[in-house]
Amino acid sequence: MDRLSKDDFMTVHGGYDRAFVLQNPNLVVPLDVLRDMEKEGVIGELANYFVTTTGTGTSVGNAKRFAEEFSKKLLADGVQAVILTST
């Protein structure tokens, strides 16, 4: 996959006007730009998945557990860097 399609991905968020992201999900998860950088050799190989979490609706305890679980998977898969996108 070289980019996120509005036909396949959507965002649900009560904290901002998400209309622009519904039209182009790459604005939140910039897969299109990252694939270009990967092809140009600017960055290494991208993982074939991304991780997303809920925001203020998540308790601190659950957020810590989520982080522990997905950080272990990222490390096990050899991921060396991440991009944190905030809405």
Domain of residue 45, residue span: 1-87
pLDDT score at 79:
96
DSSP structural state of residue 77: T
Contact in structure between 31 and 63 (CB atoms under 8 Å): no
Query: Hunting for tokens 């036909």 — which residue is that?
Result: 7
The pLDDT tens digits for 20-49 are 989 999 988 999 999 999 999 999 999 999
The three state secondary structure string of 10-70 is CCCCCCCCCHHHHHCHHHCCCHHHHHHHHHHCCCCCCCCCCCCCCCCCCCHHHHHHHHHHH
pLDDT score at 36:
98
Q: Tell me the average pLDDT of the chain.
A: 90
The answer to whether residue 55 scores a pLDDT higher than 80 is no
Domain count, the chain: 1
The answer to whether residue 15 scores a pLDDT higher than 90 is no
